[in-house]
Amino acid sequence: MAELSEEALLSVLPTIRVPKAGDRVHKDECAFSFDTPESEGGLYICMNTFLGFSKQYVERHFNKTGQRVYLHLRRTRRPKEEDTTAGTGDPPRKKPTRLAIGIEGGFDLSEKKFDYDEDVKIVILPDYLEIARDGLGGLPDIVRDRVTSAVEALLSADSASRKQEVQAWDGEVRQVSRHAFNLKQLDNPARIPPCGWKCSKCDMRENLWLNLTDGSILCGRRYFDGSGGNNHAVEHFKETGYPLAVKLGTITPDGADVYSYDEDDMVLDPNLAEHLSHFGIDMLKMQKTDKTMTELEIDMNQRIGEWELIQESGVPLKPLFGPGYTGIRNLGNSCYLNSVVQVLFSIPDFQRKYVDKLEKIFQNAPTDPTQDFSTQVAKLGHGLLSGEYSKPAPESGDGEQVPEQKEVQDGIAPRMFKALISKGHPEFSTNRQQDAQEFFLHLINMVERNCRSSENPNEVFRFLVEEKIKCLATEKVKYTQRVDYIMQLPVPMDAALNKEELLEYEEKKRQAEEEKLPLPELVRAQVPFSSCLEAYGAPEQVDDFWSTALQAKSVAVKTTRFASFPDYLVIQIKKFTFGLDWVPKKLDVSIEMPEELDISQLRGTGLQPGEEELPDIAPPLVTPDEPKAPMLDESVIIQLVEMGFPMDACRKAVYYTGNSGAEAAMNWVMSHMDDPGRLGWGAGWGGAAARPTHFNPFTSTDFANPLILPGSSGPGSTSAAADPPPEDCVTTIVSMGFSRDQALKALRATNNSLERAVDWIFSHIDDLDAEAAMDISEGRSAADSISESIPVGPKVRDGPGKYQLFAFISHMGTSTMCGHYVCHIKKEGRWVIYNDQKVCASEKPPKDLGYIYFYQRVAS
């Protein structure tokens, strides 16, 4: 590289900016690849746009924008000294004491496992003229001051990825319990000793909770791995309804752990000292003797890298490296994302769409590629498939590699992808664990939005479902079709093959709990896959069905079949359900999934000779005469929501059936499933246990179209509806291929919300087609009415119903909101396990314990 002259630096001085608050500084990762400052060529950070680029892509940015001046950042790792604070007079490094990030006492994400030597230069393209950071002293003051302030500001600024990762998050923020000020405490309680506690129902002497109403001392919940307690404290709440309990051993003059079983959360009790004194406990004299719940959670977070419970434990696994075997770093409970994208980019259609067309996608990328969906998905696909980042983790610094480092690779960290795809989403934008099925559908929805006028890889999953409803009173039928992407397979527990063993286990468990003995070894229900398939295709009775032939209520049966078979069949095992108390639970079940699958018998037949269709007449609506807002039966609404329907749809059902009960409201929902724009489901609105099977991005409407009750003010009355749509939102929608008129209409219909407006357009495609056709018939040109043709319906592929298992995603934990995900994928004739950064040949893939299975059509 040539020496940078004063004249060259003066020529670009006006383009050098000092980053301000609110500017996104991308100095950790290339916008087009996963190269970082530690990569061989370092990272070039544009000193005008603050975007980072590897040596491979920096000239692309220069050619597109004309920006010439870059900060070249190159870091070299060296071993980190053990504890440099020893003997220096500085305090030692603190362990985290709060379940928090970015605040005092929380996890310090700035702490690194290595030390780095940093080389900083200013480089001017296209000739790569350069000057070192410490070589600016000889320049004129005006040049030196301007450049130095920009360089120092760039180096000290929090990067965009760090801001995303380190948003001050406090897992300890607790609310005051609603029971704290009126807690009932029984008279004449037993006096609680200051130590020597034991569960009153078993021999547990740790994890003990004092009920603040009656003074019972009971053990806590059992964790998914069998540790913890025996659930006696929560069982006591279910029996008595006494809500608050304090964890013994955590009581100090500063407070204690208080849990509200009624509110199902850790809470604050401002009157804790008074409540404890009722049992003879003086807070001021108590000392901490047990770990708080926060400390237990911190311990788990610090151990997470060693968590191998879900792996094929006890079996040495051979690590794999190279193209297609790239691991993904866990960005904080992001294993659900890692598992889903590993599977998707093992499918040729997604590879062709995003990886094979990488160069074209990058050429068409906007000035800021970090905000472009296609660019970031292509970058992710290339990172996974190229093999460039599938290499053993770096040496520890002394030239040797420990065994764990030989198994783990650096992999890739898809921060830009996660930030973009989760932007604005109430769940995926957080660091909380999520449901892999929910994320799969969310990603499918995002692909739909961005493939409107081009090749759509979602077609491999898309299929038509045929639903037949038969009125038993008249024998007349109704056939409907809907689009789906997942076959949700029920689990009939009564079909378990080991019923006797299960009954014996339950009896042993009951006896052990009564006699306060250790619980017996777990027995898992073994349900045949054939029974699950039979349950899927079995007729389902629909009570209180509104028969259009009778114009009255009747009983009907509904059967579900495939109207088409997709190239790739996605099967979700419905392990997550609700108990009788509406508490989500996971079925502990083993299902031997077949390697070869034939579902040809589930193909629908359509209307058969001799069958008579039900009249296509809408059921009567019950509309209250009073203009005032009516009262809706909240209990019925809750029942419908728990069955998996959106809140606004449930409110409409209760309203239009005149509060006639759950059966009538359910009938209304079932009768209006096919109404365009009436009902819809989007990813993220509920848990896997609640989602109905009829999710469809083509008919999905936004939930911000609530029921507007007579006499009440609704969204239409807000000032936002009258405000003109923001021009930047209009431009964004037009850039997706829609006309300006359509963009304006969508924004006005959704109170100028960009996210909701995009959803609104996709859910009203048929209406927009009709309007465009009307415009043309009235003499307006197609260019005036719509920028390009909009597909009138989803495209589905069809073929034989014979499949072969090629991947599955497994979950471990008691809920989709906790635990861990890994995936197994069959590649080159062998099974491979992808566990975040670990990619290994699988010795014994647990095919019977999966959550989501992916089958590939067998070529005929």
Partnered with residue 832 across adjacent β-strands are 825, 841
Which residue in this structure is represented by tokens 């108390």? 581
Q: Tell me which of 30, 335, 471, 823 is the catalytic residue.
A: 335
Q: Tell me which of 275, 694, 811, 820 is the catalytic residue.
A: 820
Neighbouring residues of 475: CB distance < 8 A, sequence distance ≥ 6: 612
Residue type, 193: P
CA dist 291 and 556 (Å) reads: 57
CA dist 60 and 211 (Å) reads: 66
Treating both helix axes as pointing N-terminal to C-terminal, what angle do 436-450 and 373-385 enclose, rounded to 10 degrees? 120
Closest CA to 761 of 733, 789, 782: 733
Whether 259 has a binding-site annotation, put simply, is yes
Whether 354 has a binding-site annotation, put simply, is no
Write the DSSP string, 94-137: PPP-SSEESSTTSB-TT--SEEEEEEEEEEETTTTEEEEGGGGG
Whether 264 has a binding-site annotation, put simply, is yes
Cα distances from 103 to residues 110, 393, 461, in angstroms, run: 12, 30, 44
CA dist 28 and 166 (Å) reads: 14
How many residues are given for the chain?
860
Whether 729 has a binding-site annotation, put simply, is no
The answer to whether the CB of 390 falls within 8 A of the CB of 322 is yes
The four Cα atoms 621, 626, 631, 633 give a dihedral, to 10 degrees, of -30
Neighbouring residues of 257: CB distance < 8 A, sequence distance ≥ 6: 246, 247, 250, 266, 292, 293, 294
The answer to whether the CB of 412 falls within 8 A of the CB of 379 is no
- H or E stretch including 239? helix 232-240
Which residue in this structure is represented by tokens 């992999």? 411
Would you call 448 helix, strand, or coil by DSSP? Answer: helix
CA dist 389 and 414 (Å) reads: 12
Residue type, 334: S
Token pair of 791 as six digits = 């597909």
The answer to whether the CB of 711 falls within 8 A of the CB of 626 is yes
Closest CA to 298 of 403, 170, 400: 170
Token pair of 334 as six digits = 């992001």
Q: Is 335 a catalytic residue?
A: yes
Partnered with residue 822 across adjacent β-strands are 810
Cα distances from 435 to residues 265, 326, 576, 683, 688, in angstroms, run: 21, 23, 10, 10, 7
Q: Is 729 a catalytic residue?
A: no
| Helical segments of 396-519, H only | 403-407, 415-421, 436-450, 499-514
Does 126 sit behind a cis peptide bond, omega within 30 degrees of 0 on the bond before it?
yes
Ramachandran angles phi, psi of 404, nearest 5°: -65, -35
Whether 222 has a binding-site annotation, put simply, is yes
- Burial (CB < 10 A; 0-12, 13-18, 19+), residue 558, is middle
- H or E stretch including 363? helix 358-363
Residue type, 322: G
CA dist 464 and 438 (Å) reads: 20
| Helical segments of 704-849, H only | 727-735, 740-749, 754-763, 765-777, 782-785
Whether 209 has a binding-site annotation, put simply, is yes
Structural Rg of the chain based on CA atoms: 31
Closest CA to 685 of 646, 638, 643: 646
| Binding-site entries for Zn(2+) | 199, 202, 219, 232
Q: Which residues are annotated as a binding site?
A: 199, 202, 209, 219, 221-224, 232, 259, 261, 264
Q: Which residues are annotated as a binding site for substrate?
A: 209, 221-224, 259, 261, 264
Catalytic residues: 335, 820
